[in-house]
Amino acid sequence: MIKFSIKNKHLPTANCLKPTICALIFLLFCQNTFASNFVVEKRIAAQLAKNNVSGNVVWLNTGEQQFLSIYLEANSSKARGGIILLHGMAGHPDWSTVISPLRKNLPQSGWATLSLQMPVLANDASVENYIPLTKEVPQRITAAIEFFHSKGIYNVAIIGHGLGATMGASYLASESSSSSVVKAFVGIGLGVHNQHPEFNPSYSIAKIKIPFLDLFGSLDLESVKNSASTRQLVARKVNNLRYRQTNILGADHFFTGLEKSLVNRVNSWLKKFAPSVKFGVEQLKLNTGQR
């Protein structure tokens, strides 16, 4: 069973009496057990504590590791469901572009948001270095789903940006017991890395049957723009009639200056393809023994 704890408003900082020794222990732990660099994750948590981010800090536990997330309750007369947010490469749960605008504004439309700390490496890490981290993603997303279920929120969708979108698509394509309860997916800035099948969303798109918004900008990264027609063709071949591809004119990979347009576009799509519905708890019970 996933365990989680909530801290209101402020992130806890390290209380180790000997920070250097503590950091070394964390580093050895990371190298020998998990791909994610927990020294980096810990540093991110400390920095977010200084920033005094809005929302409740939730420490989720996969049973093997603890990681940070930020939760905001829906602030609307009509509750629609929960959104799990997955940031891009080397990011964090309150990343100023794409992630923060969505997590702070979607609650006004009835969506509770839970932004996850995704597995990260040092800033100089390459895309290739991130491949082993994909194995940690299902446990983190499953923990987020169970958190929403514990609050009686069963209409859950996932929104990912960049590498977070690629990892989210890969998770949904796995058709695991937990991914089967996700009702919609928004992939923002999905890029195809042909030399790395693990990071090629086209393979995932072929298996995803739920409503899928493939959103990018006309000034996006070349890997995103150049693969747009391929992604769309794959969706057509598998006859996913609920796949939509949208190109926002003038938007770069981070939707700089177009945050409002991003939020409005995502919100309007969610209202249409992930309407608020009620599910029985037994229907949505996760087989948490298989992660």
Average pLDDT over residues 109-134: 91
**Domain count across the chain:** 1
Answer with the residue of higher pLDDT: 91 or 18: 91
Answer with the residue of higher pLDDT: 132 or 155: 155
* CA–CA dist 176, 153 (Å, integer): 19
Residue 230 domain-assigned?
yes
Please state, rounded to an integer, the average pLDDT across all residues of the chain.
84
80: containing domain: 3-278
pLDDT tens by residue, 134-143: 889 999 999 9
Given strand 81-86, what is the order of strands in its sheet? 3-8, 56-61, 66-72, 111-116, 81-86, 156-161, 182-188, 212-219, 243-252
Res. 10: pLDDT tops 70: no
Res. 113: pLDDT tops 60: yes
Residue 291 domain-assigned?
no
Average pLDDT over residues 28-39: 58
Average pLDDT over residues 17-32: 38
Residue 290 domain-assigned?
no
Residue 140 domain-assigned?
yes
User: For 51, left (φ over 0), alpha (ψ -120 to 50), or beta?
Assistant: alpha
- CB distance 205 to 177 below 8 Å: no
The domain that contains 18 carries what CATH number? 3.40.50.1820
SS3 category, 171? helix
Residue 82 domain-assigned?
yes
The candidate with the shortest Cα–Cα distance to 199, out of 236, 161, 163, 175, is: 163
pLDDT confidence band for 285 (50 / 70 / 90): low
